[in-house]
Structure 1
Amino acid sequence: MRAQIQKIESKNRRAKSVLPFGIAELDSRLPAGGLALGALHEVAGGGNGAVDGAAAALFTAGVAARTKGKVLWCMTRPDLFAPALAQAGLSSDRAIYVEAGDDKTVLACFEEGLRHGGLGAVVAEVARLSMTASRRLQLAAEQSGTIGIAVRRWRRQTEATDFGQPTAATTRWRISVLPSTPLPVPGVGRARWLVELVRCRAGESADFTLEACDDTGRLALPSHLVHGSGQKEVRRRVASA
């Protein structure tokens, strides 16, 4: 009976596919081994990043950069730094920026972009995301096969508690800045993030220490984790999540 219901519900939907991160420890925590395309995802910054949204935006840019086609980015605040997105793999010739007056207008543009069906990804910076709005966005993404990413940003740190409210998003991520990769000489190494998979439909929560996106949009495991000593620590954090 469940199989019949699932078949009926998915009759008019495109076949689902995924976008792997290329990191086995991360992809193994996601159903089908990657980030679902044709779905809605949420990304927020941890700590002070809940207001500035810098790490969350770069993480999102890395995901969008690895899709095919133009990327629609909707926002209310004109503080997006395009050269930084390019360093995370999302070049300016692929991005279409839409500045709207409020969250309601941003969500309308977000939904319209997802329904278009000809874009590689649609990104929207929003503070509030209700269950009703997120369901509409999830449905639009499923019907078109386009990945939608809601970058949650708030005006004040105290408003970030809204991130705990339920939505219809397939995954929910929190990205926090960590000290950069140490170098053998004075200087600033590759940025590091604490990447938390806060919620995953049909999956489990987990968190990872990763090097930030390179110019192809790809994350990487720090070298000490690649060579084994840190992998046990990652597994322990996952088990306790």
Structure 2
Amino acid sequence: MAASSPSALLSALREQVARIEGHGAGQARRVVPFGIPVLDGALPQGGLVCGALHEVAGAGANVEHASAAALLVAGILACTGGPVLWASERFDLFAPALAGVGLPGSRVVHVEAGKAVLLAMEEGLRHPGLAGVVGEYSGRLSLTASRRLQLAAEASGALAFLIRRGPQLNDLLLSEPTAAVTRWTVACRPSPPPLPHSPDTPGLGRARWQLDLMRCRGGVPGSWTVEACDAQGRLALPADLAHRPAAAPPSHLRRRAAPGRTAA
């Protein structure tokens, strides 16, 4: 048998790595795009990959209640079909808010799981037919526990979201490494006045978020200001920002990359 050429060996090695990461041709995953080219372009497959664990946390004053993070997750799931299992530590899920971003209560099975949120997520991911499994969790997330969720998501093909809720600002627990394929933070930004011809008139325009992609397997971290999910769960670029250059990575990543300096 003739020896394989170096290019054939390299191609086989790439296919093997892709299969290990769950992105091989035989394990093609459905992708849910954001619908914003600059945002989808930072993700290796042009959107959020199904059959994977994605981690989302609030930022600033929103870190404890993670309301913006929950609405982002609900908006993403609104663009899919099928039921959603939503597990939380206490009964504080506000169904009308989820319906306001396109995820009606008829699609949501809410479980008050206490400290067993991770177990409830893992059990939910073992059941076929779910479009997504969401957990709101305030405890420490070990690499082992997050890896179990990632493997369960890969087996089910469902979107798995873990919404991290910290008891204090800048909670160090939220920065510990996990097996999540993507890690996001969502911060609320000031809304613009609703009257373009009267910019000094205070009012409530469409809510704005700052999305920071902190980690993405095979992707590019970055930071974007977007308009919050509408009634169909869709994000949008603000009109006054749509034609500006792409946003730079989050500040902590810029500091880490600067020579001769260490991250704060």
TM-score (norm 2): 0.83
Look up the equivalent residue of 1:222 and give its one-letter code: P
Name the CA distance, whole Å, in 2 between partners of 1:8 and 1:32.
15
Give CA-to-partner distance per residue, 1:125-183, whole Å, 9 cap, x none: 0122110011011011111110100000123335x211111100000000000011321
Which amino acid in the other structure matches residue 205 of structure 2?
G
The residue that corresponds to 2:221 in the other structure is 205
Give matches, 1:60-75, under 5 Å.
60-75=73-88
For residue 108 of structure 1, report the CA deviation from its aligned partner.
0.8
Secondary structure in 2 aligned to 1:51? coil
Partner of 1:79: 92
Of residues 90, 99, 116, the one that matches 2:112 is 99
Distance in 2 between residues matched to 1:108 and 1:210, nearest whole Å: 33
Q: 1:30 aligns with which of 43, 65, 76?
A: 43
Which gives a bigger RCO, structure 1 or 2 (Cα 8 Å, sep 6+)?
Answer: 1
- Is the Cα–Cα contact under 8 Å of residues 14 and 144 in structure 1 kept in the other structure? no
**How high is the TM-score relative to the length of structure 1?**
0.90
Alpha carbons of structure 1 residues 166 and 19: separation in structure 2 relative to 1, 3 Å: same
Distance 1:4 1:188 in 2: 50
Aligned partners of 1:8 and 1:58: how far apart in 2?
Answer: 32
Deviation at 1:209, TM superposition (A): 0.4
Match of 1:192? 208
Aligned with 1:141: secondary structure?
A: helix
The structure with more radius of gyration: 2
* Gap regions ≥5 residues in structure 1: none
Q: From the two aligned structures, give the one with the greater helix fraction.
A: 1
Q: Which ranges in structure 2 are unaligned for 5 or more consecutive residues? A: 1-11, 196-200, 255-264
SS across alignment from 2:126: helix
Q: 1:183 to 1:117 in 2, by over 3 A?
A: same
Specify which of 162, 175, 182 is matched with residue 164 of structure 1: 175
Q: Which residue of 2 aligns with 1:48?
A: 61
In 1, Cα distance between equivalents of 2:66 and 2:214: 17
